A and B are shown apart, each in its own frame.
Chain A
Amino acid sequence: MENEEKVMTGEESLRIISEMINKTKFDIRQGSFYLLFWGWLIFVCSLSEFLLKKFAGVGHSYYVWLLVIPGVFVSMLYGFITGRKAKVRTYTGMLYMWIWLGFFIAAMVLFIVHSKSMYSVAPYILLMAGLPTFISGFLIKFKPLIAGGICFWVIALAIFFAGTDTYSLGTSIAMLLGYLIPGYMLKNRVDHDAV
C-alpha cells in the first residue's frame, strides 16, 4: 500500500474497498478436513459393523464404534492447533464452528438419552447431521454440501422405515454422499484455487 497522503479518487476508494472485502472470505479448507476425517471414520465404522454382522456373524460388531472416541480427540486437537495459528477470525468461520459444535453437543445428548438402545440411534443422528451440513453448504456457497445435507435427511427417512438391519449400511452410504464426495470436491476446489 502506497503512502497514505496520496490523493485518492472515488474510483480508487471503491477499488480498495472491494479488493479488501474479497480478501476476507472464509477459508474453506477448514471445512474439508472435518468432512473427510469424519466421513472416513464413520464410513469405516458403519461399513465394518455391517460386514462383521452380516458376513462374519460377529455379535458385538458395534464395538467398532469405539473408534469414534479417539476421533473426537484428534478433531479437538486439530481445531485447537489451527485456531491458535489463525491470524484472522471471520464471522463465517465462527458461525461454521458454532454450528458444528452445537451438532456435536446435541449428538452427545442423543447418545446419553439412547444409551440403552444405541442400535436405534442412526436415523436420528443422520437427521441431525443433515442440518449443519446443509447450512454449511449455504455458508460457503457450495452446492454439493447442500445436496449432502439433503441426502442425510432422505437416507434417515429411508432407513427409519426400512428397519434396524439397514442402519449401518445406510449410514455408510450417507457418509459417502454427505461428507466424502462433497469433502473431496471441496478439497479439489481449494487445491485448484491455490494453483
Chain B
Amino acid sequence: MTRFKELDPILHSQLRLAVVSLLIGIEMAEFTYLREQTGATAGNLSIQITKLKEAGYIEVTKKFRNNYPQTLCSITKLGRQKFAEYVNDLKDYLNPDQK
C-alpha cells in the first residue's frame, strides 16, 4: 500500500497538465494558442480538451470571428481547486520527509 496520495489521473497526463497550467495564469485562450504553446497536434489537443471539459476542469466556448469558428478555453473554479490539490500532492510526492 502506497503512503502517497494518488495524483489526480485527469491532471497527471502531459498534455492535460500543460493545458491547465497555461490556463491557470490567463483569463481565456484560443485553441490555436494552446496548440502553439503545447506543440500538440490539433486532434490530440482536441481529445484532451474534451476530457478536461467533461471532468468540469475547463470551460469551452465556441464563437465566430470574421466568419471563422473560434474555440475559447478558460479554467473553472473546480479546475483551479483541482490544480492546487495536484500541486500539493506533487509536493508531498517529491518531498515525503517534509510531511
Q: Are B65 and A1 in contact (CB under 8 A)?
A: no
Residue of A at shortest CB range from B40?
A: A1
A11 contacts the other chain (Cβ, under 8 Å)?
A: yes
- Residue among B28, B32, B37, B65 making CB contact with A20, cutoff 8 Å: B37
Q: Are B21 and A11 in contact (CB under 8 A)?
A: no
B76 contacts the other chain (Cβ, under 8 Å)?
A: no
Q: A87-B30, A94-B27 are in contact. Are A4 and B90 (CB under 8 A)?
A: no
How long is the Cα–Cα vector from A3 to B18 in the complex, in angstroms?
12
Q: Are B14 and A4 in contact (CB under 8 A)?
A: yes
Chain B, interface size: which category? Answer: 20 to 34
| Bitwise interface map of B from 9 to 43 toward A, beta carbon under 8 Å scored 1, else 0 | 00011111110011011111110110011111000
Q: What number of residue pairs across chains A and B have CB atoms under 8 A from each other?
A: 78
A2 contacts the other chain (Cβ, under 8 Å)?
A: yes
Q: Are A1 and B12 in contact (CB under 8 A)?
A: no
In the bound complex, residues from chain B placing their C-beta under 8 Å from that of A88 are 26, 28-30, 33
A16 contacts the other chain (Cβ, under 8 Å)?
A: yes
Residue ranges of B at the interface with A (Cβ–Cβ < 8 Å): 7, 12-18, 21-22, 24-30, 32-33, 36-40, 44, 48, 65, 87, 90, 93-94
Q: 9 new A-B pairs (CB below 8 Å) besides A8-B17, A17-B17, A89-B27?
A: A3-B44, A5-B13, A10-B90, A13-B17, A20-B21, A21-B25, A84-B65, A88-B28, A90-B27
Q: Give 12 CB contacts A-B under 8 Å.
A: A1-B39, A3-B14, A10-B93, A11-B94, A16-B18, A16-B21, A20-B37, A87-B29, A88-B29, A88-B30, A88-B33, A91-B26
